[in-house]
Amino acid sequence: MKDAAPQTIYLKDYTPPSYLVDSVHLTFRLSPEHTRVLSRIAFRPNPDAATKDFFLHGEELRLHSARIDGAEVSPQMTLEGLTCEVPDAPFIWESDVEISPIANTALEGLYISNGMYSTQCEAQGFRKITYYPDRPDVMSVFTVRIESDLPVLLSNGNPVAQGDGFAEWHDPWPKPAYLFALVAGELINHPDRFTTKSGKDVELNIWVRPGDEDKCAFGMEALKKSMKWDEDVYGREYDLDIFNIVAVDDFNMGAMENKGLNIFNSSCVLASPQTSTDANFERIEAIIAHEYFHNWTGNRITCRDWFQLCLKEGLTVYRDSQFTSDMRSAPVKRIEDVIALRGRQFREDNGPLAHPVRPDSFVEINNFYTATVYEKGAELIGMLKTLVGDDSYAKALDLYFDRHDGDAATIEDWLKVFEDATGRDLSQFKRWYEQAGTPRLSVSDSFEDGSYVLHFKQDTPATPGQDQKDPRVIPIAVGLLNPNGDEVVPTTVLEMTEAEQSFRFDGLAAKPVPSILRDFSAPVILQRDSTNEERAFLLAHDTDPFNKWEAGRALARNGLIAMIRDGAAPDAGYLNALQAVLRDDGLDPAFRALAMGLPGQDDLAQTLVDLGDVPDPMAIWQAVETLKQAMAQHMQDLLPRIYAQYQVDSPYRPDADQAGARALANAALALISRMDGGAQAQAQYDRADNMTQQLAALACLIADGKGNKAVQAFYDQWKTDRLVIDKWFSLQIAYCDPDQAADIARALTDHADFTMKNPNRFRATLGALAGHPAGFHHASGAGYALLTDWLLKLDPVNPQTTARMCSAFETWKRYDADRQAMILAQLDRILAQPGLSRDTTEMVTRIRN
Ligand code: PHE
Ligand code: ZN
């Protein structure tokens, strides 16, 4: 039955559910191998439905009995669930099913991780728990009874009863099944409280395994800040008596927003200065905020169907980025987000997996939790806000919460709210949701008689299934500087709606220098023939921090491209301009650390493709190495001064100020290390009292080929801390010589601590290999073969994580014939595996086409 050809599901085929659910009662009798799930579900025919067919999803369930209004029935089993004759009136469905949490290695449904029971139901995991209409537009009130001898028994909503061997929970807010959750185990809580703005007292808990209780304090502070921020900025208050967070070691994703019971990958909530880096702290704060914000954008207002995933994810990512900007530095957050967008989403948009922010078809929805849905989805919200303005955005959001509270909504509903709040027609804007691909925005300019004209042309390359693209509305934030570096036209948003369009600025004394796409006002690739002098000028004078950084990045990129294509020497202009930025103590250290970064090697490969070249990953790696060496030499006097100046003497705090200082000093260290044989890095390693300092030093030592001693010492120190050991696995691969990457990764998969059953460990190892472009795309093909070997082993165990990691191959069409042939051979080897999961089959098929 499992081998039936996978079906494609289309947005255009949506029909309302035939039956609605008024209430759900579930009883869990927990046992590792034979958990019993008893359900009692009140159904009623949906007056808006076209058919009266009764269908319940169900997978990997053993049905012991089923009853309708108390009388035993014999349902017909189908491929994905069951059907049954039912009355043409409200009725009660009862079933008794058996499941085996211990056998569940896919980590979807009810499973056991390190002795604790946990669930994951988004997107379609609830059907592995009991028979149910497992679709987000069926919302109901859940009451849950858990029977188990374990001390901590949690579910959604508020606790209603508790006794020897059982607990009962009731969630008054109707919700779809994907937000259901249950946790049971020997857990310890880190408790706190929060009083909402209307005076409601809420109990807060972070639940962890014994031994992790000293890693909860930061997450709890982040939670309280998030609750306050959502009240202050969006007027959203929490709506239950209790809010629980649980840390789980085995988890496919980052975290999950189950109503009142968020479940987190332990790597996304546990934090301590000794074991977490500054970057970890920032990410944990953002993910806690993200899941909490889902309570309104996702839970109170959910999605009608999975095509609307960006309705909750794009908006919630946008909200968590606003939160981080408010808690830390807005320009730094923006730059970090754009680096991530280009690294993951642009890459996706330029390859065979490109899809619209709102896809119109899928085979396996798990394959659509992508950078496009999340990160590009968030960019669309940002553009909408830029187009309508801050006040109208706030008005529209109020209307959205007001109008759609309790609904399972669509992108059409979302856009209608903005149209009603502003009177604007957003039909052209909607193309951003419907068309895949990253627009190329080319610019030319002219100046005559005091008038400056910017001429723009937009063009989006074809993507799978979409050859023709219509022009989109693009908000282009522009500022103009005069030749002295003073701003003559402050930031103005140009609204481009045509395929080609000009904008004029009058009354200028001299030809200005334009600063285009300030704050990265649209997710496009800006193409402009500009000179390195002009870029250096903007790096020195632009008032927009994003574009100031972007000018430096463009200089670095052009220099690297010239080195790769023409064998040019490192660009002295870039080195001088960068040195001037680093010397400017008026600039935020975190900004300067970002300015020292170079474009990613994968990013450079795409730039070369856009220039008509076939990228050679080894040549790219070599150019980056050569440039870093030149940076180290060119600034050999300045770097040690910076390193000394930005040492943090006060006790460790994971805040933006300290993190920025450490980031700058550590960026300097990475270059110093190339000149001093690793002496400074070893000294930092030896005295480090926090993970940021320790890990940065270790990375330098590994990159310099001097890491053996420290790698062993690090392991000995941390071997009992699984999250730190994940870092140990990934760092050895991330910073190694490309010629050795596959061998090192293979040796690590033989290490006693390697296990493919833990997604974090698998990603730390094989994901690190895939993230090392020159190592993964090594001419020997060893990287391709090793990853494929492990994907084939993991697929029967955990299809979701396997499928996600197949995207390592999504750039294959960029490369030369030899590499293409090697990758195709591996893709075919995957497709030939008998019983390959639907998840992986869909991904590999799409990548291959
Ligand atoms: N909805 C989760 C989030 O974005 C992500 C997730 C998806 C987690 C699917 C698990 C499974 O916060
Ligand atoms: Zn989310």
Mean pLDDT in residue range 564-589: 98
Cα(294) to ligand 1 centroid in Å equals 10
Q: Where are the alpha helices (DSSP H) in 523-571?
A: 532-541, 545-566
Ligand 2 centroid from CA 290, angstroms: 6
Task: Annotate 684-738 with three-state secondary structure.
Answer: HHHHCCCHHHHHHHHHHHHHCCCCHHHHHHHHHHHCCCHHHHHHHHHHHHHCCCH
pLDDT at position 139 over 80: yes
Q: List pLDDT tens digits, range 294-333.
A: 999 999 999 999 999 999 999 999 999 999 999 999 999 9
pLDDT at 6: 79
The ligand that comes nearest to the alpha carbon of residue 288 is: 1
Cα(134) to ligand 2 centroid in Å equals: 19
In ligand 1, which atom is closest to the CA atom of 257?
12
Whole-prediction pTM value?
0.99
The DSSP result for 432-466, as a single string, is HHH--SPPEEEEEEEEETTEEEEEEEEE---BTTB
Q: Note whether 644 and 600 are within 8 A (CB).
A: no
Looking at the CA of 268, which ligand is closest? 1
- Span 751-756, average pLDDT: 98
Q: Specify the residue with its C-alpha closest to ligand 1, atom 1.
A: 256
CA distance 403 to 407: 9
Q: What is the pLDDT of residues 48-101, one digit of tens each?
A: 999 999 999 999 999 999 999 999 999 999 999 999 999 999 999 999 999 999
Helix pair 377-388, 309-327: axis angle to 10 deg:
70
Atom 7, ligand 1: which residue's CA is nearest?
122
* Cβ atoms 493, 521 nearer than 8 A: yes
The pLDDT tens digits of the residues spanning 16-41 come to 999 999 999 999 999 999 999 999 99
With 0-12 / 13-18 / 19 or more C-beta atoms within 10 angstroms meaning exposed / middle / buried, residue 795 is: buried
Position in ligand 1 atom list of the atom nearest CA 287? 12
Q: How far apart are CA 578 and CA 559, in angstroms?
A: 13
Nearest ligand 1 atom to the CA of 123 is 9
pLDDT band, residue 823 (cuts 50/70/90): very high
**What is the reported pLDDT for 809?**
98
3-state helix, strand, coil in the chain (%, to 5): 45, 20, 35
- Residue 4, pLDDT > 80, answer no
Distance 735 CA to ligand 1 centre (A): 30
Name the band, by pLDDT with cuts 50, 70 and 90, for residue 2: very low
Quick one: average pLDDT of 178-205? Answer: 98
pLDDT reported for residue 1: 40
Catalytically annotated residues: 291
Q: Tell me which ligand sits closest to the C-alpha of residue 368.
A: 1
How far does the centroid of ligand 2 lie from the alpha carbon of residue 291, in Å?
Answer: 6
Residue with CA closest to ligand 1 atom 12:
256
State the pLDDT at residue 322: 99
DSSP element (H, E) containing 515: strand 513-516
Taking the C-alpha atoms of residue 542 and residue 545, their distance in angstroms, rounded to an integer, is: 7
Crossing angle of helices 278-293 and 691-703, rounded to 10° = 120
**Closest residue CA from atom 11 of ligand 1:** 122
- The distance in angstroms from the start CA to the end CA of the chain is 27
Ligand 1: which residues within 6 Å by Cβ?
Answer: 120, 122-123, 253, 255-257, 290-291, 313, 369
Out of 252, 253, 303, give the residue to mutate to test ligand 1, the one with the largest number of ligand atoms within 8 Å of its CB.
253
Quick one: which of 603, 594, 595 has its CA closest to 623? 603
Residue 215: which of 188, 195, 193 has the closest Cα? Answer: 188
Sheet holding 451-459, edge to edge: 500-505, 451-459, 440-448, 525-528
Structure tokens at 235: 């007027």
Question: Percent of the chain having pLDDT more than 70?
Answer: 99
Q: What is the mean pLDDT of residues 458-478?
A: 98
Kindly indicate the confidence band of residue 264, based on its pLDDT and cuts at 50, 70 and 90. Answer: very high
CA distance 252 to 254: 7
Q: In terms of DSSP H, where are the helices of 196-247?
A: 217-234
Per-residue pLDDT at 213 exceeds 70: yes
- pLDDT tens digits, one per residue of 390-433: 999 999 999 999 999 999 999 999 999 999 999 999 999 999 99
